[in-house]
Amino acid sequence: MRIVFAGTPDFAVPSLRAAAARGEVIAVYTQPDRPAGRGRGLAASPVKQAAQQLGLPVLQPDTLRTVESRRALRALQPDLMVVVAYGLLLPPKVLEIPTHGCWNVHASLLPRWRGAAPIQRAIEAGDAETGVCLMQMEQGLDTGPVLLSQATPIGEHETGGQLHARLADLGAQVLADGLALLRAGVRPTSQPQPADGATYAHKLEKAEARLDWALPADVLARKVRAFDPWPVAEAELAGERLRIHGAIALPLAHGAAPGRVLFAGKAGIDVACGEGALRIRALQRAGGKVITAADYLNARRDLVAG
């Protein structure tokens, strides 16, 4: 088979390695190098770095909408195009070029959580499970029929970063299974997505990471988990803005105003919420590193005394 792979972030790297395991990837598409770091120098995407390590040719067009870009893809004579978090829209004319069309590895159990941030939204919403789907791409956003899928439970304390890593590996496994079937001449059966149950996972925004103490504690605890490692939950606590890296919800009955510190000790800092309390276990001060709540209290003895 002649496979063209398209992806950009680290989530796509395990799938690239799975697709390239038998020497079938003939080219890798990824987004152009972007400014990164304090020096704002151009940096290659994780997929480009992995492709170069594998000795694969890399293409980085700004768009796939031009006649020239389609001509270049058609010249590769691909049997299949595998797309994993590429970040550029594939026009209908591109989807038609590979013999078997384009497959997409998506980090949710479609039709739930179509869109940009399915991993974080599943945690934020309190979903008990999620998974990955291998989908036949069509013109709509994550609306194509599902070829293969694999579900997995979401851990009680699992963060966005931890689930991201697990689903990246699970996606590579599902892709490998689909490729094995195609090599054997068995095209995976397309299952149209149900009309009901579709939800959209909006892109993460920095502003939504600010915690509102008037919300229930369990809602805030899920936000803390979902937004780790980015954009990281932030909150105002005792006159100081902090980044919250670890917290759990406590079903405490209290009559305190939201945002008031109820308890501060080695176990953490308990903050009154609209319902229950949020126990902060790990946090970060402005310009500092991530520390435990106990270490933070060494510098904030006023909270302990209170």
> pLDDT tens for residues 149-159?
999 999 999 99
How would residue 181 be classed by pLDDT, with cut points 50, 70 and 90?
Answer: very high
Angstrom distance (rounded) from CA 72 to CA 219? 48
Domain harbouring 294, CATH code: 3.10.25.10
Same domain? For 175 and 277 the reply is no
Residue that finishes a domain, picked among 146, 181, 201: 201
Angstrom distance (rounded) from CA 295 to CA 292? 5
Same domain? For 60 and 194 the reply is yes
Angstrom distance (rounded) from CA 192 to CA 110? 10
Per-residue model confidence (pLDDT) at position 305 = 60
Domain harbouring 122, CATH code: 3.40.50.170
Residue 238: which domain range? 206-305
Q: What element of type H or E holds 53? A: helix 46-53
How would residue 39 be classed by pLDDT, with cut points 50, 70 and 90?
Answer: confident
108 is in an annotated binding site: yes
Same domain? For 183 and 42 the reply is yes
pLDDT, tens only, 225-239: 999 999 999 999 989
Taking CA 249 as the corner, what is the angle to CA 244 and CA 254, rounded to the nearest 5 degrees? 110
Residue that finishes a domain, picked among 201, 219, 235: 201
Same domain? For 240 and 98 the reply is no
pLDDT, tens only, 285-305: 999 999 999 999 999 988 886
Looking at residue 100, what DSSP letter applies?
Answer: T
Angstrom distance (rounded) from CA 158 to CA 226? 8
Q: Say if residue 59's pLDDT is above 70.
A: yes
Angstrom distance (rounded) from CA 110 to CA 133? 7
Same domain? For 86 and 162 the reply is yes
Into how many domains does the chain fold? 2
Angstrom distance (rounded) from CA 174 to CA 186? 15
Same domain? For 42 and 87 the reply is yes
Taking CA 83 as the corner, what is the angle to CA 16 and CA 107, rounded to the nearest 5 degrees? 90
Taking CA 179 as the corner, what is the angle to CA 174 and CA 182, rounded to the nearest 5 degrees? 130
Same domain? For 298 and 161 the reply is no
CB 115 within 8 A of CB 201: yes
Average pLDDT over residues 97-121: 98
Instruction: Name the residue among 242, 211, 241 with its Cα closest to residue 226.
Output: 211
69 is in an annotated binding site: no
| C-alpha Rg value of the chain to the nearest Å | 23
Residue that finishes a domain, picked among 176, 201, 226: 201
Q: Say if residue 48's pLDDT is above 70.
A: yes
Same domain? For 241 and 161 the reply is no
Average pLDDT over residues 140-164: 97
- 132-157 as b/e: b if 16+ CB within 10 A: bbbbbbbeeebebbbbbbeeeebeee
CB 107 within 8 A of CB 143: no
167 is in an annotated binding site: no
Q: What element of type H or E holds 48? A: helix 46-53
Q: Say if residue 211's pLDDT is above 80.
A: yes
Question: What's phi and psi for 227, nearest 5 deg?
Answer: -90, 15
Same domain? For 155 and 177 the reply is yes
Q: Which of 32-36, 190-194, 295-299 has the lowest mean pLDDT?
A: 32-36
Same domain? For 89 and 226 the reply is no
Same domain? For 251 and 217 the reply is yes
Same domain? For 195 and 57 the reply is yes
Q: Which of 25-39, 158-172, 209-223 has the lowest mean pLDDT?
A: 25-39
Average pLDDT, the chain: 96
Looking at residue 216, what DSSP letter applies?
Answer: B
95 is in an annotated binding site: no
Q: 3-state class of 220 per DSSP?
A: helix
